[in-house]
């Protein structure tokens, strides 16, 4: 045991800190394995400085910079060497350090180690490889690759790279993490049991009328004085004990057959529309046993004189990355009939008055609305509606610092993600989230469309990669999906009050099937859809759909016909334009249909094709990829829309150039039209045949022949 005392009484703090780290390093490396960068295996990195102190300085030169560490023999790794540690110097910081391990080095063998914060001096960084990887890393995974963010021009110094045993405080943190993981696993088990349980009664229907909620219950039960109709709030998770917000005694039926019940729709200014309803028996003063499966409303009655009609179009042509600008008329010129709109709602409302903000009431509570938020969206949504374009809004919860932003963000969300899951864990968060949704669904579903119409609500973004795009911390899929489905239910029910045709969509990447992620950061889309269909069915089915993002296998290679991972098997690891028929067949299956009958809506809400350079050939490949995908979609029954991402290249997409227009410049604020702009315009017109002939030469005879073959 080594005792270390550091004092700064006779030296500057920086020198004192450096001396401390020298002693600490010597202490740790007594039993640690020293590692070194493999300077022959650098990618988009240049060595700008090295020293005899085993320190290296690198400069990133692209959007995918990484370095390998020199391979070590598994037997050289000590029995407790589980912590990868180093010191770094990086004035710009790195938003996310990823560590790949192998062999083999591949996407599933990776972990997110967190950010490297900005530092103008040497500071330590460490990560426990088994814990962060969900125990996928073992000493046999003796190859390590460090991925240093997504930006060029970042300088980072690294030194004293070691693999060591955890220190006392790290062991304590690991024990706490293991206990938390066990609690989460228990929650997942209880949620599964909830959906699989047999109940004595069936809640056949929950019908919402203007001022009442009618319920029909079927089944045999020995009724007694402790049998109640219970109202269950949107905040309740079946991983927790049941806590109704209201109860109503039930009287034993006098005749056989379904029991019909009625409750007021409104209670103390609260609309009970988003509640679940069940029959339960009180077994202790505060304990309940469910006798029926809780059900959300299954029928929402609307006034017969409601003039609101569904917005429909036979065209597939859509556009993503759209905003209100000076060239909106170009969307009409391109023949666009679908658009997506990002709605970052974190700073949309405020709980107290603000100058210039308008007020409205939800659930008996006053809220104030940000006028800038409304101006930002009104013009675009009104323009799209006036030109008969179907608008799909993507609801996003950010990491803002306002009181409202903090309230609607899930309490376990961490900033490793770009966006967060909404807060449905307690009443205050749910009330704030519902207020925002209430306002939006009311404003953008008015007769006469003064502000425009939103038909589809996409929640939230790429939830199968929840850690990155809809963060809720690390969660088992059952726990994650329980909250996510409650968000879908809330939006669906509130939107249907004003637009009887409104739908909600789950947002998914181009991944499809994989082994469960033990780190609980990603989920297989197929498993998520199967869970969603099951959970929706047990609690009263509703009209949800799928917003899929079938990018090519590599986002940086538009030649999707050369993709190697997608197959035509139902368990394919990915779905890209090459095998879209797999998604189409899956969604036509009986278990995926609404109430077992209707095919659910599928929109391809985000995908595009990269133009790596501005050469004519690169633009021809992008155009050919559009034609290839369009040809694939023609024979598919479920797909309603293809939203090309993007309209204009964006400098903040990690080097991806997906637009029909190039990057903006001072001379060309909306970029220049690429060849794909003209090709996209020709789709669904008589000129399309000419574009197809040109694309065939790029794609090749064999790939084109495979494209036009019928799916098995």
For the segment 424-443, what is each residue's pLDDT rounded down to a tens digit? 999 999 999 999 999 999 99
The answer to whether the 31-164 and 326-613+640-667 domains have the same CATH topology is: no
pLDDT band at 254 (very low <50, low <70, confident <90, very high): low
Greatest Cα pair distance in the chain: 92
E strand or H helix at 399: none
Rounded average pLDDT over 418-422: 94
Would the pLDDT of 12 be above 80? Answer: no
Q: What does the pLDDT read at residue 670?
A: 93
Higher pLDDT, residue 514 or 490: 490
The whole-angstrom separation of Cα 342 and Cα 712 is 37
- Of 242, 218, 216, 214, the C-alpha closest to 230 is 242
The whole-angstrom separation of Cα 192 and Cα 22 is 51
Query: Cα 241 from chain centroid?
Result: 28
Q: What does the pLDDT read at residue 255?
A: 61
Residue 482 — φ and ψ, nearest 5°? -60, -45
List, in order, residues 6 or more apart from 557 with CB less than 8 Å away.
Answer: 610
For the segment 368-413, what is each residue's pLDDT rounded down to a tens digit? 999 999 998 999 999 999 999 999 999 999 998 899 999 999 999 9
Rounded average pLDDT over 458-477: 93
Would the pLDDT of 7 be above 50? Answer: no
The whole-angstrom separation of Cα 557 and Cα 52 is 40
Would the pLDDT of 473 be above 60? Answer: yes
What is the phi-psi region of residue 651: left when phi exceeds 0, alpha when psi lies from -120 to 50, beta otherwise? alpha
Residue whose tokens read 């604020």: 669
Give the HSE-up count for residue 482: Cα atoms under 13 Å, Cβ half-sphere: 23
Q: CATH says 326-613+640-667 is which class?
A: alpha beta
Q: What percent of the chain has pLDDT over 90?
A: 68
DSSP H helical ranges for 119-204: 129-132, 168-196
For the segment 669-693, what is each residue's pLDDT rounded down to a tens digit? 999 999 999 999 999 999 999 999 9
- Of 701, 699, 702, 549, the C-alpha closest to 622 is 699
Q: What does the pLDDT read at residue 29?
A: 43
Residue whose tokens read 């990133």: 60
Would the pLDDT of 305 be above 70? Answer: no
Would the pLDDT of 307 be above 90? Answer: no
For the segment 193-239, what is each residue's pLDDT rounded down to a tens digit? 999 999 989 999 999 999 999 999 998 877 788 899 999 999 999 99
- Whole-prediction pTM: 0.84
DSSP symbols for 223-248: --TTEEEEEE-TT--TTS----SEEE
Could you tell me the fold of the domain covering 31-164? Jelly Rolls (2.60.120)
Domain ranges, ordered by start, for the chain: 1-30, 31-164, 167-196, 200-300, 326-613+640-667
The whole-angstrom separation of Cα 458 and Cα 488 is 9
For the segment 521-552, what is each residue's pLDDT rounded down to a tens digit? 889 999 999 999 999 999 999 999 999 999 99
- Of 521, 528, 510, 513, the C-alpha closest to 576 is 510
Would the pLDDT of 51 be above 90? Answer: no
The whole-angstrom separation of Cα 66 and Cα 98 is 9
Q: What does the pLDDT read at residue 1?
A: 26
For the segment 149-197, what is each residue's pLDDT rounded down to a tens digit? 988 899 999 999 999 999 888 889 888 888 888 999 999 999 999 999 9
Q: What does the pLDDT read at residue 415?
A: 83
Rounded average pLDDT over 104-132: 87
3 state SS of 274: helix
pLDDT band at 119 (very low <50, low <70, confident <90, very high): confident
Would the pLDDT of 712 be above 60? Answer: no
- Of 190, 188, 296, the C-alpha closest to 233 is 296
For the segment 348-372, what is each residue's pLDDT rounded down to a tens digit? 999 999 999 999 999 889 999 999 9
Q: What is the mean pLDDT of the chain?
A: 89
- Of 61, 674, 68, 607, the C-alpha closest to 340 is 607
Would the pLDDT of 109 be above 50? Answer: yes
Please say whether the beta carbons of 659 and 608 come within 8 A.
Answer: yes
pLDDT band at 52 (very low <50, low <70, confident <90, very high): low
Rounded average pLDDT over 445-461: 87
Give the HSE-up count for residue 361: Cα atoms under 13 Å, Cβ half-sphere: 6
Rounded average pLDDT over 563-579: 94
CATH 2.60.40: does it fit domain 200-300?
yes
């Amino acid at each position: 045991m080594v005792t270390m005392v550091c004092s700064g009484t006779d030296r500057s703090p920086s020198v004192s800190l450096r001396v401390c780290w020298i002693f600490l390093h010597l202490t740790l490396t007594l039993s640690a394995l020293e590692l070194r960068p493999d300077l022959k295996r650098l990618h988009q990195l240049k060595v700008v400085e090295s020293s005899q102190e085993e320190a290296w300085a690198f400069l990133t030169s692209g959007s995918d910079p990484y370095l390998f560490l020199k391979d070590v023999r598994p037997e050289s790794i000590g029995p407790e060497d589980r912590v990868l540690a180093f010191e770094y110097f990086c004035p710009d910081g790195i938003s996310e350090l990823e560590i790949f391990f192998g062999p083999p080095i591949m996407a599933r063998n990776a972990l997110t180690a967190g950010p490297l914060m900005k530092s103008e001096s040497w500071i330590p960084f460490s990560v426990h490889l088994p814990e962060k990887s969900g125990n996928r890393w073992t000493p046999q995974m003796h190859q390590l690759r460090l991925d240093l963010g997504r930006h060029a021009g970042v300088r980072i110094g690294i030194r004293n790279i070691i693999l060591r045993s955890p220190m006392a405080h790290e062991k304590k943190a690991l024990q706490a993490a293991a206990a938390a993981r066990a609690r989460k696993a228990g929650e997942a088990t209880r949620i599964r049991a909830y959906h699989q349980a047999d109940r004595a009664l069936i809640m056949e229907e929950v019908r919402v009328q203007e001022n009442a909620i009618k319920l029909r219950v079927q089944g045999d039960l020995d009724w007694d004085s402790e049998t109640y109709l219970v109202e269950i709030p949107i905040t309740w998770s079946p991983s927790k004990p049941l806590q109704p917000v209201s109860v109503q005694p039930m009287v034993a039926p006098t005749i056989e057959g379904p029991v019909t019940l009625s409750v007021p729709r409104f209670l103390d200014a609260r609309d009970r529309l988003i509640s679940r309803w069940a029959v339960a028996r009180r077994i202790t003063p505060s304990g309940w046993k469910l006798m029926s499966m809780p059900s959300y409303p299954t029928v929402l009655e609307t006034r017969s004189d409601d003039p609101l009609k569904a917005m429909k179009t036979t065209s597939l042509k859509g556009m993503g990355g759209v905003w209100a600008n000076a060239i909106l008329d170009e969307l009409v010129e391109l023949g666009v009939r679908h658009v997506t709109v990002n709605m970052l709602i974190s700073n949309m409302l405020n709980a107290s008055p603000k100058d210039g903000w308008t007020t409205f009431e939800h659930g008996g509570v006053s809220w104030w609305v940000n006028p800038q938020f409304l101006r930002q969206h009104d013009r675009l949504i009104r323009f799209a509606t006036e030109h008969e374009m179907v608008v799909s809004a993507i609801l996003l919860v950010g990491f803002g610092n306002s009181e409202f932003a903090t309230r609607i963000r899930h309490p376990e969300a961490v900033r490793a993600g770009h966006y967060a899951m909404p807060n449905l864990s307690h009443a205050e968060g749910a009330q704030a989230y519902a207020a925002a949704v209430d306002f939006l669904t009311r404003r953008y579903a008015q007769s006469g469309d003064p502000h425009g119409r939103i038909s589809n609500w996409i929640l939230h973004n790429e939830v199968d990669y929840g850690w990155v795009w809809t963060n809720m911390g690390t969660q088992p899929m059952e726990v994650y999906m329980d909250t996510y489905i409650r968000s879908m239910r809330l939006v669906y029910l509130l939107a249907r009050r004003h637009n009887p045709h409104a739908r909600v969509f789950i947002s998914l990447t181009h991944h499809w099937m994989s082994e469960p992620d033990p780190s609980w950061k990603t989920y297989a889309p197929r498993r998520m859809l199967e869970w969603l269909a099951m959970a929706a069915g047990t609690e009263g089915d509703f009209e949800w759909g799928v917003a899929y993002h079938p990018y090519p296998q590599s986002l940086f290679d538009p030649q999707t016909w050369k993709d190697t991972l997608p197959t035509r098997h139902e368990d394919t690891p990915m779905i890209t334009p090459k095998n879209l028929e797999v998604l189409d067949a899956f969604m036509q299956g009986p278990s995926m249909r609404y109430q077992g009958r209707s095919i659910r809506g599928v929109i391809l809400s985000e995908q595009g094709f990269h133009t790596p350079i501005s050469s004519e050939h690169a633009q021809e490949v992008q155009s050919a990829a559009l034609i290839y995908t369009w040809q694939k979609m023609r024979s598919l029954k479920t797909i309603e829309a293809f939203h090309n991402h993007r309209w204009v290249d964006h400098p903040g997409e990690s080097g991806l150039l997906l637009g029909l227009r190039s990057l903006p410049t001072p001379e060309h604020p909306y970029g220049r039209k690429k060849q794909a702009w003209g090709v996209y315009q020709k789709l669904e017109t008589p000129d399309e045949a000419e574009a197809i002939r040109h694309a065939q030469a790029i794609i090749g005879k064999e790939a084109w022949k495979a494209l036009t073959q019928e799916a098995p």
